[in-house]
Amino acid sequence: MKTVMITGCSSGFGLEIARYFLDRDWSVIATMRTPRDGILPPSDRLRILPLDVTDAASIAAAIEAAGPVDVLVNNAGIGWLNALEGTPMQVARELFETNTFGTMAMIQAILPQFRQRRSGIIVNVTSSVTLKPLLLLSAYTASKAAVNAFTESLALELAAFDLRAHLVLPGRAPDTSFATTARGRITGEGGFPEPYDDLVQAVMARFQQPDDAITTSLDVAEAVWRAATDANAPMRIPAGADAVALSPGA
């Protein structure tokens, strides 16, 4: 039986990815900053472990407790929407600490066992915002584009050990708590700088419009499944109709 380890399973994509793999008879290590029982169906193939991807000791403990893993899914992430001028450097650093360095640190921690077994797959969840520049997303996009770049380079060195790395690029998914959590962070940091009011209004008005093409958590779980189970899966896998529309040839 194969084992998948997933970061950020308390909600949204991570929770759905865990469910999806459990339904397909995989052994699932669902990690969360604050473990909660009852959000996933009980199963003797499910283990819930505490993990904060910004904390080196937490990473070491989770990897030790996990034991052999076949697929690592780096899904944990935080959002932010603001002008660069309205983005305190502390927030920019937090975005990179979680989205970028947290992903790197998890990969560093899992690689020794993958390399020794010459078997293992890494799936990094980034975002379709890296495919098309969007207003007020410079800092968040940078944190995800950095993951795209390092994953594509990393894949070259991993291939020498028969290991694979993939990127899953979800589009906008209003069904997760991502935007609400980001909104709380933006308000907590003082909101948007006044000179950017018109831009902010335009972006907010755009969000209010009904979208025919959005992404669901199921789209993301299916894309991660493809990366995990299809040896010929492409390096970049868009997830969701909007992300697919931005990915020529996908």
Ligand X SMILES: NC(=O)c1ccc[n+]([C@@H]2O[C@H](COP(=O)([O-])OP(=O)(O)OC[C@H]3O[C@@H](n4cnc5c(N)ncnc54)[C@H](OP(=O)(O)O)[C@@H]3O)[C@@H](O)[C@H]2O)c1
The catalytic residue positions are 140
Site string for ligand X, 30-69 (x = CB under 6 A): --xxx----------------xxxx---------------
**Which runs of E-coded beta strand occur in the chain?**
3-6, 27-32, 46-50, 71-74, 121-125, 164-170, 236-239
Nearer to ligand X, 76 or 244 (CB): 76
Nearer to ligand X, 167 or 200 (CB): 167
Question: Cα separations (Å) of 45 from 29, 74, 130, 225?
Answer: 8, 20, 35, 17
- When asked if residue 11 is in the footprint of ligand X (CB under 6 A), the reply is yes
Residue 226 makes contact with ligand X by CB under 6 A: no
Question: Which residue stretch of 17-25, 154-162, 177-185, 198-206 sits at the interface with ligand X (rule: CB under 6 A)?
Answer: 177-185
Query: Considering only residues 27, 127, 130, 216, which one is a binding residue for ligand X as defined by CB under 6 A?
Result: 127
Is position 98 an interface residue for ligand X (rule: CB under 6 A)?
Answer: yes
Q: Are 188 and 202 in contact (CB under 8 A)?
A: no
Q: Measured from the CB atom, is 118 or 183 closer to ligand X?
A: 183
Q: What share of the chain is helix, strand, coil (3-state, %, to 5)?
A: 50, 15, 35
Q: Give 34 or 209: the residue with its C-beta nearer to ligand X.
A: 34
Measure Cα distances from 93 to 85, 144, 148, 155, 186 in Å: 14, 13, 18, 25, 15
Phi, psi dihedrals of residue 222, rounded to the nearest 5°: -65, -40
Token pair in block for residue 140: 């968040």
State yes or no: residue 173 binds ligand X (CB under 6 A). yes
**Binding residues for ligand X (CB under 6 A):** 7-8, 10-14, 32-34, 51-54, 75-79, 98, 102, 125, 127, 170, 172-173, 176-178, 181
